Amino acid sequence: GNSVTQMEGPVTLSEEAFLTINCTYTATGYPSLFWYVQYPGEGLQLLLKATKADDKGSNKGFEATYRKETTSFHLEKGSVQVSDSAVYFCALSESEAGGTSYGKLTFGQGTILTVHP
Amino acid sequence: EAQVTQNPRYLITVTGKKLTVTCSQNMNHEYMSWYRQDPGLGLRQIYYSMNVEVTDKGDVPEGYKVSRKEKRNFPLILESPSPNQTSLYFCASSLKGGRTYTQYFGPGTRLTVL
């Protein structure tokens, strides 16, 4: 079955530091890949996504590139801010109409990021 | 404002007392689903619905029921809650269920079963 593995957290950084959160996946077919962010006390928000190999998703200074050869979708940001403190989830969707995984997002376990001033 | 709403946001109950968590979306989405979030496990899908009157099991359906009588609503029913159902629950919706469609999540319902 499908699975997503994220780097262990929590991650603690100083403001303006470089961020990388690793994400690798296992899928039987050709998934779309997502990063969701969960701010304290809130639901999940889509941060970025990529639907085919070599696509780069980007939003709010975050980037991730769909690497089919290494089955990875690492999240990066050049200079983090205190307001980026949140839980980050990598996820994939490999749904086919009528299939058992239709519409399902498979999530990693989440990485807690704390940014200090 | 386009959104997914859930009620209640917080609930403490006792073992065996039936409860319903409501979910509603105002985006005319066909696809809706429920997830539970547990520490170290990420989110796991409980049930999903491709459209009105069409529902199916996700990865962890035991102990839960759902219904989809209207397009906008997708309630989650726990007929006899147990402590292992203590969790954070999220409802999500998307235009369709295909791999490229973005799912939009509600704010979550934190359930404690004593």
pLDDT digits (tens, 9 = 90+) for B76-93: 999 999 999 999 999 999
HSE toward the beta carbon, residue A89, CA cutoff 13 A: 24
Phi, psi for A84 (deg, rounded to 5): -85, -5
- Neighbour count for residue A79 (Cβ, 10 Å): 11
Burial A87-104 (b: 16+ CB within 10 A, else e): bbbbbbbbbeeeeebbbb
Q: What is the 3-state secondary structure (H, E, C) of A2-55?
A: CEEEECCCCEEEECCCCEEECEEEECCCCCEEEEEEECCCCCEEEEEEECCCCC
Mean pLDDT value across residues B40-45: 90
Query: Which of A99-108, B16-25, B46-55 has the highest average model confidence (pLDDT)?
Result: B16-25
Which residues in chain B belong to E strands, given as ranges? 4-7, 10-13, 19-25, 31-38, 42-51, 54-57, 65-66, 76-78, 87-94, 104-105, 109-113
Identify the weakest region by mean pLDDT among A1-5, A113-117, B21-25, B95-99.
Answer: B95-99
Among A44, A46, A95, the residue with its CB nearest the CB of B99 is: A95
- pLDDT band at residue A97, thresholds of 50, 70 and 90? low
3-class DSSP assignment, residue A95: coil
CA atoms within 13 A on the CB side of B79: 7
Share of chain A above pLDDT 70, in %: 93
Percent of chain B residues past pLDDT 70, beyond the cut: 100
The answer to whether A111 faces chain B, any CB pair under 8 Å, is no
The per-residue pLDDT of chain A, averaged, comes to 91
- Answer for the pair A111, A51: CB distance below 8 angstroms, yes or no: no
| Amino acid code (one letter) for A82 | V
| pLDDT beyond 60 at A105 | yes
pLDDT (mean) for B101-108: 91
pLDDT of residue A95: 64
CA dist., res. A116 & res. B112, Å (int): 32
* Gap from B73 CA to chain A (nearest CA, Å): 17
pLDDT score recorded for residue A102? 66
On whether any CB of chain B is under 8 Å from the CB of A39, the answer is: no
Provide the 8-state DSSP code for B73: B
Of A51, A91, A109, the CB nearest to B41: A109
Using CA atoms, how far apart are residues B108 and B111, in angstroms rounded to an integer? 10
pLDDT in tens, A8-55: 789 999 999 999 999 999 988 888 999 999 998 888 999 999 988 999
